[in-house]
Chain A
Amino acid sequence: MAAVTAEGPRGGRLVLSATSLIGPATVVVALGVIGPLLILFRYSLNDFDPRMLMIDALTPKNYIEFFTDPYFLAVFFVTVRVALMTTVICLILGFPLAYVLARTQTRFKNLLLIAVVVPLFVGNAVRAAGWMTLFGSRGFLSMTLMDLGITTEPTEIMFTETAVIIGIIAVNLPYMVLTLQSVLEGINRNLEEAAFSLGAAPLTMVRRVLWPMALPGIAAGGILTFILAMNAYATPVLLGGPEFRMMAPVIYSQFQLNNWPSAAAVAFVLMGTTLLLTIAASVATRQRFRD
């Protein structure tokens, strides 16, 4: 806005048009996001009684409960662990794929890009149903392993953390790949060749040239997938089963118990953690890039 208003004699009209352009979206965001957030934050400071439900108060009780109750703490650590695991695995799987997409000379590049995005066309629930047919003890994977004689016992992947991690990776990988691909594409191929001609073998080249140069993109892709994983709802519910708890489903179950204050507090812990780790990641990568 400041840059727009500094436009000189016609500045006044420009400000007006800028306002009219960003105005509607701002109103929607303010009413639809900030408003409910404020209300929810107020709720999180309220007290709760199973018989009288929400009681007006100003107490940190719900937050203290979250960080002292073993149940909530377990949920918290599982969530962060799953989010970190999926992010790291997405990065490991996504980087080579993004590199190939960034460097390919084929005419079918757009088709390849669409192929990366296609999984996102399938809804979360439908996708999870698909994974279920694969992961169950009598599912495709388990039966195939037994038929091939690789295992003798049924393999149970369904309703495990592994199933949830695989499921979330499947959702998040396209985001990671697309982010990395656009960053890698911006790195001139000559830089790779320069490294090769100076004596760097491919892996050394990646470590010394591509990786540090792509670091801002790696951070962006990592943050994106991390946020998505932290807040995953359908995948942990459908693939994790009733015993497996991540934060987003827990918030919902607290609502179902009519415990709005607790649900609101968990929601804010989730948001705060995501925000904190995101900021930490971007600060860390920025400093490393400056070295």
Chain B
Amino acid sequence: MARLELDRLSKRYGDFHAARDVSLDVAEGEFLVLLGPSGCGKTTTLRMIAGFVEPTAGTVKIGGRDVTTLPPWKRNTGLVFQNYALFPHLTVGQNVAFGLEMRKVAKAEADAKVLDALKLVQLDHLIDRLPRQLSGGQQQRVALARALAFRPDVLLLDEPLSNLDAKLRHDVRVEIRSLQQRLGITTVMVTHDQEEALTMADRLVVMRDGAVRQIGSQKDLYERPADHFVADFVGRSSFLSGTMAGDAEMKTAGGLTVRCAKSLSGPAVMALRPERVYVGREPISGQDNTFPGEVEFVSYLGSLIDIHVRLSPQDRVIAQVPNHDSAALPAVGDTVHVGWAATPAVFPADSDMRA
């Protein structure tokens, strides 16, 4: 258990920046999630923490000690791989004991610790099995027990749930999270699954093209996304693009004047969360913006309904409404009114994002 500090950590392969100036400060016992699409640099960052990738620049400190130049076997980090990487020729018990054995822990003490670690993941009854005799979920828990048994300073999880089926994934998420909290172990997890990230993390780091785009709590990322990319990647948004037309007003591509809660200038993009967009038969009162539009598409999700409303040939918003009364839902082709409050989620248009 220790604090983990990354200071302007970078990795360059020729002209390609796998990670640039990644600075993170993970508090003792904190669960930090690196989130981003594939190729965003999250795995490279994790592998630099573990010691498998040598940074081009920057430092990694674990518990105040600079480990940047230390090889992985001298770092005391517990790593859980996407494919678990259990040693197939060793039993569950021998797998879990491996880290203790490398640390020359006496046999009796090691045996007790192996049993403790396996009890943590409720697999102590399978101690003599070989990995191939276990289900995927069981293998995943053995990998976790193996990474925890020697009490690492930092626990690193590399997409640990992506090989599990959906049902199991939900259970394991909660299990890992509560285990991590019970042990109070500093943890960094890499994932591309935002739902997984949102349910497990204390704090999230959204990355793209090797760089950190935003660090914050779930609420920070959802309510106050830092840029177009984060607004698009975390949660769902529909976007209106246009040009800022004065103080807290944007002129959309389709000519609508939309009020927002931020002042900018130049080309801009506005992100609207579907559940914050109201739909009605009459103009929406009490909202900063209200426009008529034509229902273009209705998506029935069961408890929720997505309604896509076209406001102009260039502007479309998505509203998500609770399914209170399916008979009262608008149909495709109906004219409806949509409204929403002025939002601070307006960003300068991002050249590498489609609007």
Contact = CB atoms under 8 A, between A and B. Distances in A.
B242 interface: no
Contacts of B86: 194
A273 B73 CA distance: 45
A209 B189 CA distance: 26
Contact of B83 (A188, A196, A289): A188
Interface string B37-80: 00000000000001110000000000000000001111111110
Contact of B87 (A191, A196, A289): A191
A103 to B, nearest CB: 13
Interface string B98-125: 1100110000000000000000000000
A110 interface: no
Contact of A204 (B74, B79, B102): B102
A212 B98 contact: no
B52 A212 contact: no
A197 B50 contact: yes
Q: How large is the interface on A (under 10, 10 to 19, 20 to 34, 35 or more residues)?
A: 10 to 19
Contacts of A52: none
Contact of A196 (B52, B89, B156): B52
Contacts of A201: 71, 73
Interface size class, chain B: 20 to 34
B89 A198 contact: no
Nearest to A193: B52
Interface string B76-94: 1111010101111100000
Given A193-B79, A193-B81, A199 B89 contact: no
Nearest to B146: A198
Nearest to B79: A197
A213 interface: yes
A190 interface: yes
Nearest to A192: B85
B127 to A, nearest CB: 16
Interface string A137-172: 000000000000000000000000000000000000
Interface string A112-154: 0000000000000000000000000000000000000000000
Nearest to B78: A197
A190 B43 CA distance: 14
Given A193-B72, A289-B89, A199 B83 contact: no
Contact of B72 (A197, A212, A289): A197
B347 interface: no
B150 interface: yes
A200 B102 contact: yes
Contact of A194 (B76, B87, B89): B87
A218 B146 CA distance: 28
Contacts of B89: 212-213, 289
A188 B84 CA distance: 11
A234 interface: no
Contacts of A194: 79, 81, 85-87, 146
A198 B150 contact: yes
Contact of A213 (B52, B88, B102): B88
B272 to A, nearest CB: 42
Interface in A194-226: 194-201, 204, 208-209, 212-213
Interface in A75-122: none
A156 to B, nearest CB: 46
Contact of B102 (A191, A193, A199, A212): A199
B89 to A, nearest CB: 5
Q: 6 tightest CB-CB pairs across the interface, nearest first?
A: A199-B102, A190-B85, A198-B99, A194-B85, A197-B79, A196-B72
11 contacts: A188-B83, A188-B85, A191-B85, A193-B52, A194-B146, A197-B73, A197-B147, A198-B78, A199-B150, A201-B71, A289-B89
Given A194-B146, A199-B103, 17 more contacts: A188-B85, A193-B79, A193-B85, A195-B87, A195-B98, A196-B51, A196-B52, A197-B72, A197-B73, A197-B156, A199-B76, A199-B102, A199-B150, A200-B73, A200-B102, A208-B98, A212-B89
Interface of B: 50-52, 71-79, 81, 83, 85-89, 98-99, 102-103, 146-147, 150, 156
